[in-house]
């Protein structure tokens, strides 16, 4: 047994394969809304166009410059515009439909359940700290069965702070009865999950799934979730 008691995971692209479920959801909405008739060549092409806009809008959302409702519609309004389509209703409908499908089309990162079962057997408390929307994150957790494995979930929309704000980490540790010494943060995003944990003195495991090069000195770095079993 290690000194740790509380294991905090990020959700998207750490346990939940956000990229994969996003692609599956694009296949779905492309078909349902008959987007080929609007002149969009393929679901893959549409997803590519959407991807950059979505990333940029998420940055603005994290900084508090735009709100959730604006983000949901704008991330479809802008890519549609790139194809010369200006259709307010379609932007709204796609936004809603996508959010719904992306949460229901279950796609877990390989070895998620193996690792969570291992941690449970070792009596660790497993928690989530995620920047997503409450409704969406709840559907993902229920649809995938993650909800049964998780002790406490901290969703930024509810807590009132988003990662990398240190306050969401302090809040989460306090709520579960943990502290800096007995807690560890695991996530796929260096600047959002890992650097802030390091800054407050919390142990951290960087899940560098995409093998991104960096110069940070870290406690642990892994490339597959299963490696957690060697650390904890």
Q: Is 12 in the site for Mg ion (CB under 5 A)?
A: yes
DSSP at 109: P
> Environment class of residue 71 by beta-carbon count within 10 Å: exposed (0-12), middle (13-18) or buried (19+)?
middle
Residue from 4, 7, 9, 10 in contact with Mg ion (CB under 5 A): 10
- 44-56 burial, b at 16+ Cβ within 10 Å, e below that, comes to eebbebbbebbee
Residue from 6, 13, 80, 133 in contact with Mg ion (CB under 5 A): 13
DSSP E strands, the chain: 6-9, 125-130, 152-155, 183-187, 203-207, 220-222
> What is the token pair recorded at 98?
């996508």
Q: Is 17 in the site for Mg ion (CB under 5 A)?
A: no
Q: Which C-beta is closer to Mg ion: that of 119 or that of 190?
A: 190
CB of 186 to Mg ion, least distance (A): 10
Q: How far apart are CA 207 and CA 154, in angstroms?
A: 19
| Binding residue count for Mg ion, defined by CB under 5 A | 5
Q: Which of residues 171-210 bind Mg ion (CB under 5 A)?
A: 188-189
> Environment class of residue 220 by beta-carbon count within 10 Å: exposed (0-12), middle (13-18) or buried (19+)?
middle
CB of 11 to Mg ion, least distance (A): 7
Q: Which C-beta is closer to Mg ion: that of 74 or that of 189?
A: 189
Q: Is 74 in the site for Mg ion (CB under 5 A)?
A: no
Q: Which C-beta is closer to Mg ion: that of 80 or that of 129?
A: 129
CB of 75 to Mg ion, least distance (A): 17
Q: Which C-beta is closer to Mg ion: that of 17 or that of 188?
A: 188
Contacting residues toward Mg ion, per CB under 5 A: 10, 12-13, 188-189
């Amino acid at each position: 047994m290690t000194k740790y008691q509380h294991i905090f995971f990020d959700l998207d692209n750490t346990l939940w394969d956000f990229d994969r479920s996003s692609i599956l959801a694009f296949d779905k909405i492309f078909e349902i809304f008959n987007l080929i008739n609007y002149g969009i060549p393929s679901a893959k092409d549409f997803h590519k166009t959407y991807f950059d806009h979505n990333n940029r809008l998420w940055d603005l959302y994290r900084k508090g410059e735009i709100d959730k409702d604006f983000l949901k519609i704008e991330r479809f309004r802008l890519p549609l515009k790139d194809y010369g389509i200006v259709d307010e209703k379609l932007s709204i409908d796609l936004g809603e439909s996508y959010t719904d499908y992306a949460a229901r089309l279950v796609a877990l990162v390989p070895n998620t359940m193996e690792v969570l079962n291992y941690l449970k057997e070792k009596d660790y408390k497993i928690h989530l700290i995620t920047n997503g929307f409450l409704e969406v994150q709840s559907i993902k957790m229920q649809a995938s069965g993650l909800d049964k494995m998780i002790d406490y979930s901290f969703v930024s929309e509810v807590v009132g702070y988003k990662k990398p704000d240190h306050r969401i980490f302090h809040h989460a540790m306090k709520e579960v009865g943990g502290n800096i010494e007995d807690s560890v943060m695991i996530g796929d995003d260096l600047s959002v999950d890992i650097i802030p944990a390091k800054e407050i003195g919390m142990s951290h495991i960087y899940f560098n799934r995409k093998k991104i090069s960096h110069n940070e000195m870290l406690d642990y770095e892994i490339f597959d979730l299963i490696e957690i079993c060697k650390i904890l």
